[in-house]
Amino acid sequence: MNILLIDDEADVRKSLAHFLEKLGHTVTCAADGMEALREFHSREIQLVITDIRMPEIDGLELLRRIKVIEKSPVDVIVVTGHGDTTSAIKALKYGAFDYLQKPIDVRELAIVIERSAAYLALRNNYRLLKQEFQERVGIETQAARGEVERLREAYLEEVGLDGLGVFSEAMRHVVAQAEKYSTDREIPVLIEGESGTGKELIARYIHYFGGSSAVLPFVAINCGAISQELFEGELFGHDPGAYTGATTRGQMGKIEAANGGTLFLDEIGELPQGVQVKLLRVLEEKKIYRLGGIQEIPVDIRIISATNKDLEREVEEKRFRLDLFYRVNMGHIRIPPLRERREDIPPLAFRFAQRASRRRGQKFGGFTAAAEKFLLSFEWPGNVRQLKNAMERLVLMQVSDRADLNDLAFIRDGAAVRGKQAPEVSVPGDGDFQLPEGGLDIEAFNRKIISMALERHEGNRTRTANYLRVSRRVLEGRLKKL
């Protein structure tokens, strides 16, 4: 052990140092407390043996500084005068490992040092075990977090929520609305948005938020994908032999299959008018009859609808029932198109490309600045669905792990061929537009533009907002100011 020996008597220091060195220890001597502190801080000391009575800083003060102030783990053995029990008690109170009385019995000293060495070995072993334990816990925790994330992604993929990305304030607002509506199954929710914006994702989020609906059914039906003749049977089911072509054993309909959970009516604007009446009755009475059946079947379903049409205009043109519109529109969410939340584009694109690469055992390194600038400037008429498909194709065709502008040329070329890229927007100031000499009232100018746009779209605020290239929420705010 490296021992610091402090005593103001040179003969005592010399004889004790000689004895300790014969036992195999390395000894550093100090004549007083100040010198001892300097030695203690300048080298690695494993044990301190100090007399109490010394000039300037006595042994008790030295002990207090080492154990109480600096909270050092180093053991300190205090040597007291014969019968000085008060000092001995004080030394133990300050944290002394042990105390010996003068004259020192070297055999007793050797035993105490041996105990201190054993205690030091235990402390070192404990420290190593603790460090190893913490490292193992860290490794296992990291592995557990990775497994939890993997299971979370698998669960999200299983319930159809793996494509949901919330990176913009607009989408945070959408998700916050979805979370509020998820708490009350009695409120039907209408989700509006262009094709590809993720209306079904938000519907699933409403259903699964909080985990309480993890085992309850989520049944989706595309109202525009089924012919009018078959739609009623698809929705309500049928009893055996109810109509020509009906199965002999009957069939459960989508409403009945969704009992206890959620029925998602995608593109509800395509719902046949004859079925609209019956759906309204289901919403009001909470019961159905299968086609050809006479038995009343109670149902407990949440209705979530989605549309890329302007349902208010559909009502005006008598293609959608007003009473059903009010019934399904108790809760309303509008998902803005990708061009209105461009901050979502880079993280979504990276996520889609990264997942596509991972499935192929590859690594995706991101986008160059030029590629990211192009992604942000593109209009994405197909919204998130188009972005996801583009990233799938990018990973399939890409040679390097970092996508450059040339790697994305197929997006621009495809848009040019289809003519889907949004046209340039006319900006006042081009051509023969001249600023008036006497000044321009910008608020009056804005009022005039918004008024003309509303008039052009017959007061429809959603289409007016799309025409002015702003979100409906921004338009509503400007209308309030104006």
Q: What is the pLDDT of residue 110?
A: 92
Task: Record the tokens describing residue 48, joined without a space.
Answer: 């301190």
Best CATH choice for the domain 2-122 from the list 2.30.40.10, 3.20.20.70, 3.40.50.2300, 3.40.50.1820: 3.40.50.2300
What is d(CA 202, CA 306) in angstroms, rounded to the nearest whole number?
10
- The residue written with tokens 């621009």 in the block is 412
What is d(CA 263, CA 82) in angstroms, rounded to the nearest whole number?
92
CA distances from 342 to 166, 169, 369, 388, 416 (A): 12, 11, 15, 15, 21
What is d(CA 126, CA 132) in angstroms, rounded to the nearest whole number?
10
For residues 356, 360, 361, 364, the Cα torsion angle rounded to the nearest 10 degrees is -40
Mean pLDDT calculated for residue range 138-167: 70
Q: What is the mean pLDDT of the chain?
A: 84
What is d(CA 225, CA 272) in angstroms, rounded to the nearest whole number?
12
What is d(CA 376, CA 339) in angstroms, rounded to the nearest whole number?
8
User: Is residue 420's pLDDT more than 50?
Assistant: no
Q: Determine the CATH number of domain 339-418.
A: 1.10.8.60
Q: What is the pLDDT of residue 52?
A: 87
Which residues fall within 8 angstroms of residue 410, CB to CB, at 6 or more apart? Answer: 390, 393, 397
Q: Where are the beta strands (DSSP E) in 276-345?
A: 287-288, 297-298, 302-307, 331-334
Mean pLDDT calculated for residue range 68-79: 90
Q: Which of 291, 223, 293, 323 is nearest to 263 (CA)?
A: 223
Q: DSSP characters for 179-192?
A: HHHHT-TTS-EEEE
Q: What is the pLDDT of residue 422?
A: 41
Mean pLDDT calculated for residue range 337-347: 92
Mean pLDDT calculated for residue range 23-35: 91
Q: What is the pLDDT of residue 159?
A: 57
Would you kindly state where each structural domain of the chain is located, as residue ranges? 2-122, 170-336, 339-418, 442-481
Q: What is the pLDDT of residue 101?
A: 85
Helix (H) or strand (E) holding 2: strand 2-6
Each residue's pLDDT tens digit, 170-203: 999 999 999 999 989 899 999 999 999 999 999 9
- The residue written with tokens 């848009």 in the block is 415
Helix (H) or strand (E) holding 175: helix 169-182
Q: Give the CATH H-level superfamily of domain 170-336.
A: P-loop containing nucleotide triphosphate hydrolases (3.40.50.300)
Q: What is the pLDDT of residue 224?
A: 82
Q: Tell me whether domains 170-336 and 339-418 share a fold.
A: no
Q: DSSP characters for 103-117?
A: SP-HHHHHHHHHHHH
Q: Which of 331, 332, 330, 312 is nearest to 322 (CA)?
A: 312
Burial class for 313, CB neighbours closer than 10 Å (0-12, 13-18, 19+): middle
Q: What is the pLDDT of residue 266?
A: 93
What is d(CA 138, CA 251) in angstroms, rounded to the nearest whole number?
54
Q: What is the pLDDT of residue 421?
A: 46
Each residue's pLDDT tens digit, 310-319: 999 999 999 9
Cβ neighbours of 267 (radius 10 Å): 18
Q: How confident is the model at residue 434 (pLDDT cuts 50, 70, 90)?
A: low
> Are the beta carbons of 33 and 56 closer than 8 angstroms?
yes
Q: How confident is the model at residue 360 (pLDDT cuts 50, 70, 90)?
A: confident
Q: How confident is the model at residue 149 (pLDDT cuts 50, 70, 90)?
A: low
What is d(CA 420, CA 112) in angstroms, rounded to the nearest whole number?
89
Q: How confident is the model at residue 425 (pLDDT cuts 50, 70, 90)?
A: very low
